[in-house]
Amino acid sequence: MVSYIVTGGTGFLGRRVVAGLLERDPQAVVHALTREASVAKLRELAAGWGAEDRVFPLVGDLTAPELGLIEEPPHADHIVHLGAVYDMTADADTTYAANVQGTRAVADLAVELGAVLHHVSSVAVAGDHQGKFFEDDFDLGQGLHSPYHRTKFEAEKLVRETKGLRWRVYRPAIVVGDSRTGEMDKIDGPYYFFPAIAGLAALPSELPVPLPDLGATNVVPVDYVVAAMVELVTKPGLIGRTFHLTNPRPQPFGEIYNALARAAGAPTSIGTVPGSHTALHALGGLPGVPAVRDFLLERFGIPAEVAPHTAFESDFVSESTQAHLRGTGIEVPDFADYAATLWDYWRAHLDPDRARRREGVDGRVVLITGASSGIGLATAHAVAKRGATVLMVARTEEDLNAAAAAVRAESGAAQAYICDITDEKSVELLVKQVLADHGHVDYVVNNAGRSIRRSVLNSTDRMHDFERTMAVNYFGAVRLILALLPSMRERRFGHFVNISSIAVQTKVPRFAAYVASKSALDNFSEIAAVENADAGITFTSVRMPLVRTAMIAPTDLYRSIPVHSPDQAADIVVRALEHRPNRIDTPIGTFAQFVDTVMPSVKRAILHQGFRMFGESKAAGRPEPVEAADAPAKPQGRSPLLALAPIVQPLMGLPAPAARFTNRIPGLHW
């Protein structure tokens, strides 16, 4: 019975190697060096392999002195050392602790147990060596320009120089996902460039693209590395040998790009620009150029530490490895044959922007405040009918439960959440519960609102009107945005629709508190959108025209003018969710802004006359201000605004074809 100690046995490469060793020898036993926190994960893996009685945790820590073992190490014929920091962006101290100090402790353990050490190094030990790098080559005076390169070199040197140690060394190239399934566990190496290729997919695929000559790289799929390692680890002898687990043929970047571009539907390269490799190398030595390069790379989500090390100056010769694998059927597949498989897996599981790709609301989680009536309830029905899971939020439990039941009965999935958005603790509990129930929120409709129609003069002793209005319309919405923002940034997607008002553009009198609160939210959202654009967080302000809801009911004046129904308003909100524009206006709102820009005094005069003609609503509970004493007598009977209905009604919204046409005009979204 062969016994193994394995480090890194629960990692992406390690768990596959362990599974391969167990499959190769049904009698083999594996003791996996594992932190206490990962013991459950190891046992879960062992159960999946059907090897609960052959896989045992060896509790310890690769970075601790003497591996932090709390028990005497078991007998082992072989130690397979896969544990290391493979992250090029990790800091030097962390990398050194795992890659060098950890390797020293593993080598000492192998000597103590008389075991053969199978050390997984890396082609990074070749550094900037130019030309062929053979399996027997090691220290050729090459430069090592990153903590990762230096620590992998030092670790292999330590293995080679440890007295009494029997060793073999394995140097994988850049390891990507499984060529058969595409499975990969994290973004690393060439995967950092995938989003840029996805962005190019927006261009016509027939567009010819010349590429700079970036040299060649060396990429191998994880299934090849695992199969080769299992074969070589279980071969007798081979002490003191080094194996290059690489592609026998260097792969030009243009070849890698074209394979991925075809998978992505992006334009392919027509060739490289002659002399660009030398020019780029010379350019990189100029003052300030590396800083600019690093800045641009970061903008594309590519760590500055990664980009310079994806190309190799070395040509890794693997003749000895290929000779030992000959006749086993273990060969490196051509990258073009599995690039589409890698791409499809990345798109489905690793693309940081995958949450924002799907258009529409089908399958989305949509949270709506003020959802028990009016625009909120109509929007809940509308998005539920389109396949969304609707999270309906309001203060009054009885009304909200009835509204949610109606949505479930008529439209689809809806769940009620009682919350007062003016209360910080209530919002905190809401978000905690929603994330526990659903994992995430895709869309938020900040619809809950408060309005009051009262002149400024009649408000001189009513500061609470402004405070209450701001508490709901501004602070309540902002409180919810701030609470959900971290989880949305983690998923790199989220969209907020804020129900603003046409009054923000028209600035009609008697709505100072309301307009100020909506304007504040509009401006907050514009700044938040800029700051979070890189994380896929977007905002839409809907400058909603008048809607016949309970909010406008106290104002008799509005009973005689054309207004939207809640269902019409919900259609506008759905457009905001599906298309995610910065804002949605109305023609009359845009016209009001235009007049304010070119003829501000005229607009103020018109609004002042309106202020004098139409007094306070009954709900204001206050006589007319002194300045309005000379105002014309209140109109009796039919409101003069009805005469304007044929003009105003079309300006409240356009037919869909007309709206689609005008939306092509920069700055307009009606």
Domain boundary, last residue among 297, 331, 350: 350
Q: What is the CA radius of gyration of the chain?
A: 33
Contacting residues for 140 by C-beta, under 8 A, at least 6 apart: 129, 133
d(CA 355, CA 367): 16
**Does residue 342 share a domain with residue 203?**
yes
**Does residue 407 share a domain with residue 274?**
no
Classify 379 as helix, strand or coil: helix
Angle between helices 566-579 and 374-385 in degrees, nearest 10 = 50
Q: What is the DSSP string of 540-604?
A: EEE----B-STTTTT-GGGGGS--B-HHHHHHHHHHHHHH--SEE--HHHHHHHHHHHH-HHHHH
Place of tokens 């362990």: 18
Q: How many domains does the chain contain in total?
A: 2
Domain boundary, last residue among 350, 372, 407: 350
**Does residue 570 share a domain with residue 461?**
yes
Place of tokens 């261009």: 203
- Determine, yes or no, domain membership for 60: no
**Does residue 261 share a domain with residue 381?**
no
- Residue 135 sits in a domain of what CATH number? 3.40.50.720
Contacting residues for 218 by C-beta, under 8 A, at least 6 apart: 123, 173, 174, 246, 247, 250, 251, 312, 316
**Does residue 270 share a domain with residue 152?**
yes
Residue ranges of alpha helices (H) inside 455-511 are 463-470, 477-491, 503-506
Please measure the distance between the N-terminal and C-terminal CA atoms of the chain and give it in whole angstroms. Answer: 75
- Determine, yes or no, domain membership for 30: no
**Does residue 625 share a domain with residue 480?**
yes
**Does residue 399 share a domain with residue 343?**
no
**Does residue 384 share a domain with residue 448?**
yes
**Does residue 369 share a domain with residue 244?**
no
Strands 216-217 and 251-252: antiparallel
Domain boundary, last residue among 321, 350, 379: 350
d(CA 182, CA 194): 14
Q: Residue 116's Cα: distance from chain center in Å?
A: 44
**Is 514 part of the annotated catalytic residue set?**
yes
Cβ–Cβ < 8 Å for 435, 487: yes
- Determine, yes or no, domain membership for 143: yes
Q: Give the active site residue among 170, 257, 417, 514.
A: 514
**Does residue 264 share a domain with residue 119?**
yes
Classify 271 as helix, strand or coil: strand
- Determine, yes or no, domain membership for 586: yes
**Does residue 598 share a domain with residue 538?**
yes
**Does residue 298 share a domain with residue 364?**
no
d(CA 181, CA 176): 11
The pTM score is 0.68
Domain that holds residue 321: 84-350
- Determine, yes or no, domain membership for 75: no
Give the pLDDT confidence score for residue 456 in this predicted structure.
Answer: 77
- Determine, yes or no, domain membership for 511: yes
Element (H, E) at 171: strand 166-172
Give the pLDDT confidence score for residue 384 in this predicted structure.
Answer: 95
Cα–Cα nearest to 546, from 523, 522, 562, 526: 562
- Determine, yes or no, domain membership for 14: no
Give the pLDDT confidence score for residue 302 in this predicted structure.
Answer: 64
DSSP bridge pairs for 537: 494
* Dihedral pair phi/psi, residue 249, rounded to 5°: -115, 125
Parts of the chain with a pLDDT under 70: 213, 270-309, 357-358, 546, 548-562, 593, 603, 607-608, 610-615, 617-670
Give the pLDDT confidence score for residue 629 in this predicted structure.
Answer: 34
